[in-house]
Amino acid sequence: MTTTTATPAAPTASATDAVVRVEHVSRTYGSGTGAVHALRDVSFTVEPGELVALVGRSGSGKTTLLNVVGGLDRPDEGRVVVDGREVSTLDERGLVDLRRDVVSFVFQTFGLVPVLSAAENVGVPLRLRKLPTKDREDRVRLLLDLVGLGPHALQRPGELSGGQQQRVAIARSLANSPRLLVADEPTGQLDTETGTAVMALIRAVVEAEGMTAIVSTHDPLMVSLADRVLHIADGQLIEG
């Protein structure tokens, strides 16, 4: 805190320095009788360094909520603030910056580029940043080592197991040292043992990199590794 600067962002950031602040968010798909209320008046915060599990049955609104938090989708009502930026009002350029600099996604389906090697996939966000080649290669090597895939750097996704592919995706998601990791059922396509290993990896990297994470899951083991659990049903957060 300093008395010499007063930025316009100060008033919104003053309540706490939560990494994520979701306030009275609603999101409805369609309209009239066909309207689906995917999110209904959802509010919560996530503090720095927390690993939060988002739990709810299929169709409860998990993906919609994560997309709204990460700026892939917009709420119809309410406010989303991530790392002091009001996501819900950002323009296209602001959203691109947010996804490059602040938030990183991991998806159930990995989302790797099939024709690129593991190392090249991890390097994609660094290329977008125009990092010098040598720095990029060093960082890619470090990230692949971090997820235990150093020896597989030159293999393409199709030559890796599901668990290995998800570890590549996690390494890629860490490339730009995001403040917030958003993972949507990252272990959904993996067997229990592999899924547990991937979740333990997420737990470890969140701690090692000082990150904050929201992870949606059905997996009880994954839930047990979280600092806190948010339960969602029919688009509403419920106690429990």
Residue 2's binding partner among ligand ADP, Mg ion, none (Cβ under 5 to 8 angstroms by kind) is none
Q: Which residue lies nearer to ligand ADP by CB, 137 or 234?
A: 234
Number of residues that bind ligand ADP (CB under 6 A): 12
Stretch that binds ligand ADP, among 29-37, 78-86, 101-109, 218-226 (CB under 6 A): 29-37
User: What single-letter DSSP state applies at residue 87?
Assistant: G
3-state secondary structure of 54: strand
Verify binding: residue 176, Mg ion, rule CB under 5 A: no
- In the list 9, 17, 29, 129, the residue contacting ligand ADP (rule: CB under 6 A) is 29
Radius of gyration of the chain (CA): 18
Site for ligand ADP in 52-111 (CB under 6 A): 56, 58-64
Q: Which residue lies nearer to Mg ion by CB, 117 or 187?
A: 187
Report the candidate in 198, 206, 183 with the shortest Cα–Cα distance to residue 55.
183
Q: Taking the CB of residue 192, how many other CB atoms lie within 10 A of it?
A: 11
Q: What is the pattern of x (binds Mg ion, CB under 5 A) and - over residues 44-73?
A: ------------------xx----------
Q: Taking the CB of residue 42, how many other CB atoms lie within 10 A of it?
A: 25
CA angle 150/151/157 to nearest 5° reads: 90
3-state secondary structure of 150: helix
Q: Which residue lies nearer to ligand ADP by CB, 125 or 235?
A: 235
Residue ranges of alpha helices (H) inside the chain are 10-13, 62-69, 92-101, 118-128, 133-146, 162-174, 192-208, 220-225
Instruction: Give least dist CB 81 to Mg ion, A.
Output: 23
3-state secondary structure of 136: helix
Instruction: Give least dist CB 234 to ligand ADP, A.
Output: 9
Verify binding: residue 36, ligand ADP, rule CB under 6 A: yes
Tokens 């293999």 correspond to 155
Verify binding: residue 3, ligand ADP, rule CB under 6 A: no
The residue ranges that bind ligand ADP (CB under 6 A) are 29-30, 36, 38, 56, 58-64
